[in-house]
Structure 1
């Protein structure tokens, strides 16, 4: 049946799909590394965002350029526009020219981006201390909390484990570093052309915000997003212009003004299902006018620029995982690198379960020889 065939084609059981995810992952890591290197004092954030997007466009443009039987080229490019969010800004800061700001020495900057090849998405985010300064205060605590939580997630997202286990680990590690996991932050299952799949891992569960428990399964793909705060862990709306949107495909409406119709037509042509930045719209005036009318008629989903209380700091790490027969494979995300020395936290993981977990290898290679139970053996076969 055609539905089953489609499912088969877009599943990691198809080696071609795995190859596309890995290729997208390599490009994301390259773009992330280049933007991080350019995060120096006085660097303009809008230029950094444009650089990240350009690298992803250029690198995806070099691959898979043969046309299919119908003469169509494969879709590829930016899957989430480059955002550089500083200090108390939680995320999604990808400004228009004229609304940007320069980086300052000592800023805690979070770079977040994603690209896709044929709809197969790889995403990543990393935190940097601008200017290479050493920090020993709460900034160091929040960075190391987010990093350790990311390392715990990498070890817990295995076939048979649950999303609840991951959320609980975030809470335990945050407590040890005396910080808070950010409310409202979700890690999503990725599918072809879907950046926000229904299966989610919540960063911080509250009475108002809960997600359904599930077990991780073979051949799934996840974008794992860890955001920690020195404050209350509650993002508040700002007066900063929101620039990142996604077409709400289930809503149809014929817009009235010419500029709004031009705007939504360009969105449907270039960004039919994945997020985009208003910077990417060819005519900025069309973008500014069109977006307000499109929002009014609920044609767009918004990625708001939220912030913590002033003087608080937010840190983020994000990576993409493939749940393959040989085990969980991390295909994006950079090493801690110089942050190891820069973020000199006096705190550490003290929860015994978390310490044991973090002491294990994130990439165990010898599971099949030990033959520990059916699940372990199965994981190493095929």
Structure 2
């Protein structure tokens, strides 16, 4: 079975946590003690029904306010596919949390309250999903039971969203009318929407095609750790552990180690359960080479005729995640794949209004949760691809060297 990572997004009270709770409940993916705990918590809050949102809203502040604050990850599986869910917050002040949850997602579910229609946060999250190049987006028109299952309401919201999405880069858009609280069109098709000819959300999640979304052409294997066992039986073992970012690696393939430029042949690929003949993203494996080449953490294995060019100048779209504003001239740590470097902020080209897509070229700083385009200069040449070609090797995070806090996340547009 393959793995689908998806994130939920939307405005406050649009039903993100309830939807995930319904998915987990109707797919029989929660334990009895979990359900009993949620039922008890629901009774304590005085609700007349079991509040399935409590399955993901685990923080005390979340349950008190009825909102999502942190990114909650949940895992479940059906007979057809495994899933990792990232339940992201709806508040504008938690935009950075939404960026975190969507950065690795194959699919984003953007919920819209059928009573309220498209909100600023709906547009904001659609823009972020586009910037992060999430290949599949589902527009979930929720709470349809509160508008009498009106087809006209659904069509109006769908039309407004598609007109806005036309300005973005969203390759695959699917719209589903539903009621997360009652379960209509979540796992099973609903009899309340005879005018809707599509599938349920669960059916779409199980069958959406994601294999072609991964880059299988450009081999990139950032080395995370060099394995050298010390016991006598495996004294000759020397492997390079890491996660395949893109491409397909096979035993017998010729690879180049960067930045040294030395080439060798793959002698063996070791997985968690034993030897493998090949490895593809996002598998974590250990690679052994025929020749003794000096390779360390931060190096990248790739093809001799297809490799990233070292660069020190980055043009990137950045989400700023710190309360102290980002200004030109600031020096920060930069983590790209498994390599650390120091970076200087040379210029802020513009700040992006993610609600209107308006660019403000007069911006002199980026505040908390702001998104803008910046130019960076790094002290050590990095082996970076454009984010459009490779979501793994085209992304980075910025770190405050004094406090070791993650203060920014960026994707490379040009280098």
TM-score normalised to structure 2 length:
0.25
Quick check: which has more Rg, 1 or 2?
2
Greater percentage in helix: 1
Higher strand share goes to which structure? 2
Which fold has the larger relative contact order, with Cα–Cα distance below 8 Å and residues 6 or more apart in sequence?
A: 1
Normalised by the size of structure 1, how large is the TM-score?
A: 0.27
